[in-house]
Amino acid sequence: MAFETIIVDIDDHVCTIKINRPDAMNALNQVVLHEICTALEEGDANEKVRVSIITGSEKAFAAGADIKEMSEQSFVDVASSDLFGAPHRRLQKIRKPVIAAVSGYALGGGCELAMACDFIIAAENAKFGQPEINLGVMAGLGGTQRLTRFVGKSKSMDMNLTGRFMTAEEAERAGLVSRVVPAKKLMEEAQGAAQKIAEKSKFATLAIKESVNRSYETTLSEGLLFERRVFHSLFATEDQKEGMAAFLEKREPQFRDK
Ligand code: HXC
């Protein structure tokens, strides 16, 4: 599919989605969100793709939902169209791993989009925030929910109530991002992580994503049971036999996704 607001590049097993609205700091209007979801869904359906990366420009991953687009909307407009409900549901259904590679501003919906990915790699210049309070509103795509689970209540309240930005260093310390790298190395690092994942058994990567995400939805004992059952199921795969045989034979495994 041809896209207007994102650039999609599939190289080897990695689908890179670059948000491309330079005149608006990559603000997320409905078209961008629809296109990102479509590209991820196409990646899920494409046998060749094993991992996706969402990124922006050096200056902005995404500076939030598009304020111009939202400014004239009434309660009835946003409630009856369930504003951001559709992309939220579509993002949650993506089964293959998605990495957010964040440089510059990841604010409001931009921070929320990054948090909806499976993990975040940040450039040293990245800035995260939920500044919706400055617009007289609040987060609407996970900023009060996912951020709280990542960084705890105190920091989440601070970010959401004051609208202040968090540096990459603070975000790593708080557990929001998994790694911080120099800006010039961001894509190399993200591609390296994606390649590493692409080398693994595909079924195991899907199972891990599903199981980690389950931890947000259930009690510890139910989550542990879910994990154990999925773990058991992996013994039905040829990749489990191959992975363990390769270890014992001191060689690299040749996973065949079977
Ligand atoms: C629409 C935006 C935008 C946004 C920036 N722009 N952010 N347009 N929606 N979220 C536009 C500006 O209007 C400007 O357009 C151009 O991008 C460059 O921005 P500047 O402000 O001139 O750049 P700078 O001074 O460097 O400041 C960068 C910034 C600032 C700190 C990121 O732009 C900013 O505060 N943006 C808004 C951040 C925000 O409030 N995000 C939350 C949005 S609400 P022109 O035409 O003037 O050049 C939200 C709700 C989430 O996300 C709900 C679920 C998705």
3-state secondary structure of 258: coil
The amino acid sitting at 11 is: D
CA distance 157 to 76: 28
Answer yes or no: CATH 1.10.12.10 is held by domain 201-249.
yes
The dihedrals phi and psi of 224, each to the nearest 5 degrees, come to: -65, -35
For a ligand 1 pocket test, name from 5, 21, 25, 133 the mutation site with the most ligand atoms within 8 angstroms of its C-beta.
25
* Cβ atoms within 10 Å, residue 66: 21
Residue 1 has pLDDT above 80, yes or no: no
Angle at 151 between CA 90 and CA 92, to 5 degrees: 10
Instruction: Using the structure block, give the residue that is written with the tokens 């929001």.
Output: 176
CA distance 150 to 22: 29
pTM, entire model: 0.97
The beta strand positions in 93-144, using DSSP E, are: 98-102, 105-107, 119-123, 127-129
| Ligand 1 and 66: CB distance under 6 A | yes
Residue count (the chain): 258
Which fold would CATH assign to domain 6-198? 2-enoyl-CoA Hydratase; Chain A, domain 1 (3.90.226)
Confidence of residue 60 (pLDDT cuts 50, 70, 90): very high
CA distance 253 to 1: 35
Q: With contact defined as beta carbons under 8 Å apart, do 57 and 103 qualify?
A: yes
Residue whose C-alpha is closest to residue 100's, from 179, 184, 201, 198 = 179
pLDDT tens, residue by residue, 63-81: 999 999 999 999 999 999 9
Among 35, 104, 110, 112, which one carries the catalytic annotation? 112
When computed from its CA atoms, the radius of gyration of the chain, rounded to whole angstroms, is 19
pLDDT tens, residue by residue, 33-55: 999 999 999 999 999 999 999 99
For a ligand 1 pocket test, name from 59, 66, 67 the mutation site with the most ligand atoms within 8 angstroms of its C-beta.
67
Question: Which ipTM was obtained for this model?
Answer: 0.98
CA distance 246 to 203: 18
Q: Distance, CA 27 to ligand 1 centroid (Å)?
A: 7
Angle at 204 between CA 225 and CA 255, to 5 degrees: 150
Q: Distance, CA 66 to ligand 1 centroid (Å)?
A: 8
Mean pLDDT for all residues in the chain: 97
Q: Residue ranges per domain, the chain?
A: 6-198, 201-249
pLDDT tens, residue by residue, 121-149: 999 999 999 999 999 999 999 999 999 99
Residue whose C-alpha is closest to residue 206's, from 228, 229, 234, 179 = 234
